[in-house]
Chain A
Amino acid sequence: MPDPTPPAHPELVTLKIDGRTCQVPKGTNVLEAARTLGTSISYFCYHPGLSSPAVCRQCLVEVKGQPKLAPSCYTPVAEGMDVLTESEKVVTARAQMLEFTLVNHPVDCPICDKAGECTLQKMYQEWDGSPSRVDTGKVHKPKVVDLGPEIVLDAERCILCTRCIRVCDEVAKEHQLEMAYRGDREQLTVAPGKRLDNPYSLNTVDVCPVGALTSKDFRFAMRAWELYTTPSVCAGCATGCNDEVHHARGKIYRLVPRENEAVNKFWMCDEGRFTYKEIDTARVAAPRIGGETSSMDKALAFAAERLAGVPRELLGVVLNAQATNEDNYFLAKVAKALGITHVYLAGRPPKPERADDVLRSADVNPNTAGARVIANALFGAGKAKGTQQLNADIAGGSVRGLWILGDHVALDDEALAALAKLDVVYQSPHDNFLSDKVSVLLPAASWAEVHGTFTNAKGLVQRVRAAVEPPGEARPHYELVALIAKRLGVDVSVGAGALTAKALFAEMKGAVPEFASASFGREALPIQLRFAASRG
């Protein structure tokens, strides 16, 4: 029986791939059209986020009526096209291309950082599998080439796909890499007078299908297949690039971008990738009272006692753009129940010099938008005050007690000096210039250790997931808030069950209109990379 004829549509092209009919928008290439049917075609040089040079010849397919095989990444769909992706001719061509690609490839897997997430390994195992027929030596090229501050090149491993050149040209918009020489001597180099130092340079490592470009930070640090991956969101700035946290045995080894067409496409900036390093820097793992380490119980009792001792009209809470929506919402809710009227919004000061029109934003807080809408919804629009007002209020004595969500609050010297005279409860993952000025310091979990949501600059509510356990006695902000609030006699029940980020989110959906249509997202248990099939 012939396939039923689909309705004609001017913008859609109908074609057949392996005998199955599909309809795709005009201008789509055959490789992407096949993907809509769940058929994956092997490729090295193509990348959905980059232009197609069709240099690797790995994606060849048979188009009926054409004498030669066609590169599917470079062939736009045409009406009535009949494509075969796994005919004998195509499969042979794939195996032969792999044999050719492997002729000069070094036997480096045991010392190569890409091993386990390497596209070349994957393609060979999937489409070739035949032993080597070459009995001459391999062409040698430079092994440890310093290309820039973050990247090392091994030219022997390079399969000349040019993805890295295109990432620099098309994403970072800087021409820093080039091919030099010809034939089997061809190799990747930096462009004359340039270094690979653009702020998106580590994307070249992600797109490299082999271990030619390696990150100095991750080089020889961990075998990729032993890592576990947890999907999360970068906390480095207000863009909220989607990322994967790669970790093993409670330690984070790297952050890599995760595809999201609406936010970061396939990319992420170098600075964002290194935000994981802050997590373990100057970390607070135990509570402190007046600078002295204390037990959690004692610290909580002390915190509640100090806050209770301040008249409510002189008490203030500081929400933070570094903390999740759930943390901010819960503190705001408790503050409202206590009748507190001084509400401030804090965060890291903006860095205008880092902003560009690619991904990097001047606002280096992940949740400025979220903290603001929560404060507006609970206390009225514009009622929450900024850090400037906070400085003035502390120095001027209009607040006598503060309950602060950490970590960063931009206080000036005058306010800092005055702070020591106030009753201050400070919840923070990190030690900083505030920690010895406050009455009580409570250890909070960082963004990599909690479940919750961040709202990015565009207003998208995105999910962060706990990848590792918090150190020592550190726990999520909202738990600390609940423990203190209970001692202050505030009803902290959220929903019917236990106090979780999910329950807080569900309540917040009703209380804050901006969250009404947002969803908390699914739970994602960490998967070991060797089984995740997401890379390589």
Chain B
Amino acid sequence: MAETRKMTLGIQDVEDLAPDDDPMPTEPMTLNMGPSHPAMHGTVRIILTVEGETVKDADVQVGYLHRCFEKEAEHATYTQVFPYTDRLNYVSPMLNNVGYALAVEKLLGVAERVPERAQYIRVIVGELSRIADHLTCMSAGAMELGAMTIYFWGIKAREWIWELLEELSGARMTHSYVRVGGLAYDLTPDFIPKVKALFPKIFAVLKDIQDSLWENRIFRDRMDGTGVITQEKALSYGWTGPCLRSTGIDYDVRKAHPYLVYDRFDFDVPVGSKGDNFDRYIVRMDEARQSIRILEQAFAQIPEGPVCLDDPRIILPPKQAVYNSIEGMISHFKIIVDGVKIPPGEVYSYTEGGNGELGWYIVSDGTGRPYKCRVRPPCFIITNALREMIVNRPIADIVPTFDMMNMIGGECDR
């Protein structure tokens, strides 16, 4: 007759697990985390030196998704760089499109002349992208702590947004929707009502996520007080965006240095207080809600009108003119073959991307392609602090800390 096995449900008292007087001897062990590790998003490798469960040292290695974006841009016309920018932060390509276009327009000296409607549309697609970006970060962050359902909810909402952006631009993720001096197309006729219909649904998803997680013991235990960074440290690393705001500093490019028409909207900049992972989570949650506030105001204010500059040296002429007049033909030819000629000079232009200040430093030598096109990728700068944040903490803290930084390979590694 088989022996009856006694089983206990739940964990034993912590005291029972306490080490006795003669702990097992441990020695440092080298562990390879990533790049093929689900929590490393396939693009980062950390060589850990662990003692037991404690990380004693970490060598964070980025660059597995390096595609020579900056060098590639030097061989493309200014317009041909747009598809490359889509692939930087590929979760919010519209924000990259807009940031790059603003930089080129600043260098060209036409930033103020871009039609108002185009500026509003740039805000609208940008804020939609920001919601998608934050939804991705929040749902993936919860999933990697075990909350699979949250992931499905968040990604479902992200897909609603991407479907609309696909309707607008023709591509689900790689939109290439913005152009130097304007936009590729105007909004589709029922785009605004469709986005408006989404608002209650997105709010509901955000509420569901909040209701499921805010009181969730596992989630709070792993997020509260982990990955803490002080304001001074965050500033010294050059942090920006939701991660910086989690420490209580309210720097948001949209408020501090308004671009496009951001100075016409009433919105708040959510900040945290402790600078831990949970703060970064709620900052993103609130920012998504603020983005919807901005969208609602933008829909109320958006004027009718053209979406491109009226300048034949920058914007392609209509096809009628291209095929029937030599003037249109030459303009089309020169813009396509030589690119939009930008006067020699250099520019730094910055916008609020999904992860923080997305900066562009462009140098022109007077030809139709950038002499230098440098991106200041916000998450690359944030990832610099990862080592310091995980050392002397348990291995398990790496996952939420890395998640809440929202390192996006495409942007970090370029």
Query: Chain A interface (Cβ within 8 Å of chain B)?
Result: 102, 105-107, 109-110, 115-116, 120-122, 124-126, 128-132, 225, 530-531, 533
Contacts and interface: CB of A to CB of B under 8 A. Distances in A.
A423 B323 CA distance: 67
- Max chain B C-beta neighbours (<10 A), residue from A106, A121, A126, A225: A121
Contacts of A102: 326-327
A319 to B, nearest CB: 42
B29 interface: no
A115 B368 CA distance: 16
B98 to A, nearest CB: 26
A122 B326 CA distance: 13
B367 interface: yes
B325 A131 contact: yes
Given A125-B313, A131-B321, A225 B337 contact: yes
A102 B334 CA distance: 16
A515 B81 CA distance: 47
Given A129-B312, A131-B312, A106 B369 contact: no
Contact of A531 (B317, B326, B329, B369): B369
Contact of B326 (A107, A129, A130, A530): A107
26 contacts: A102-B326, A102-B327, A106-B326, A107-B325, A107-B326, A107-B329, A109-B326, A109-B329, A109-B330, A115-B337, A116-B337, A121-B334, A124-B327, A125-B338, A125-B341, A126-B341, A129-B313, A131-B321, A131-B325, A131-B327, A131-B328, A132-B326, A132-B328, A531-B338, A531-B367, A533-B366
- Max chain B C-beta neighbours (<10 A), residue from A105, A106, A531: A531
Nearest to B311: A129
A121 B330 contact: yes
A107 B367 contact: no
B331 interface: yes
A68 B369 CA distance: 39
A129 B368 contact: no
Interface of B: 311-313, 317, 321, 323-331, 333-334, 337-338, 341, 366-369
A430 B147 CA distance: 73
Contacts of A107: 323-326, 329
A149 to B, nearest CB: 30
Contacts of A121: 330, 333-334
Contacts of A131: 312, 317, 321, 325, 327-328
Contacts of A129: 311-313, 331
A114 to B, nearest CB: 11
- Max chain A C-beta neighbours (<10 A), residue from B312, B331, B337, B366: B337
Nearest to B369: A531
A116 B312 CA distance: 17
B326 A533 contact: no
Nearest to A120: B330
Contacts of A225: 337-338
A530 B338 contact: yes
Given A107-B323, A130-B312, A131-B321, A124 B338 contact: no
Contacts of B325: 107, 131-132
Nearest to A115: B333
A272 to B, nearest CB: 29
- Max chain A C-beta neighbours (<10 A), residue from B317, B323, B334, B368: B334
